[in-house]
Amino acid sequence: RPAAAPEAKAYVSVLDHALPEAMLQHMRTAFAADSVFWAENKYNCETSDYFSFLHPLHGPPTSSLDHVLRYLHTQVCGHFPQAGRAQFVEWWTHCRPHPSGHQLHFDSADEGRGGVR
C-alpha cells in the first residue's frame, strides 16, 4: 500500500476486516446487483447520478443497516475517539464499472487535488 501523506494520518485510516463475516454477507446480499435496493431507489447503474444517505446514530436501532452502521461507528471511534461525538453517518453504495471514479463527499469541490484540506 502507498503510505498516506503525513498530514492525512489524522483523518484517514483503513480498517481491514471491519465487519464480522455474517454482517458482511448480509450487506453483500442487501446490495447485490439483483437486490430490490437499486429499483426502489431508481438507480440505473449506467446513468444515475451518485447519491448518499444521512443516517442518524441516535435512538434504538430500527434495521439491520442501523446495526451495521453503529458497529462500524464503534470501530471508527477506536481509531478516532472524537468521532464519538458524531450524530449522523453518511453512507452510499453504487454499482458502477471499475474504475469509473467517485467523489467521496457531496460537499467537496475537486476532492483530493492538492492534498488534504
State residue 46's pLDDT score: 67
DSSP SS3 for 76: helix
Per-residue model confidence as pLDDT tens digits over 23-80? 999 999 999 989 999 888 888 766 667 778 899 999 999 999 999 999 999 999 998 9
Q: How many helices (H) and strands (E) does the chain have?
A: 3, 2
What is the average per-residue pLDDT within 2-28? 82
Query: Where in the chain are the domains?
Result: 17-91
Q: How many CA atoms lie within 13 A of 52 on its CB side?
A: 13
Mean pLDDT over all residues of the chain?
Answer: 80
Peptide linkage before 99 cis (omega within 30 of 0)? yes
Taking the C-alpha atoms of residue 30 and residue 74, their distance in angstroms, rounded to an integer, is: 22
Q: Which three cell numbers stand for residue 82?
A: 472524537
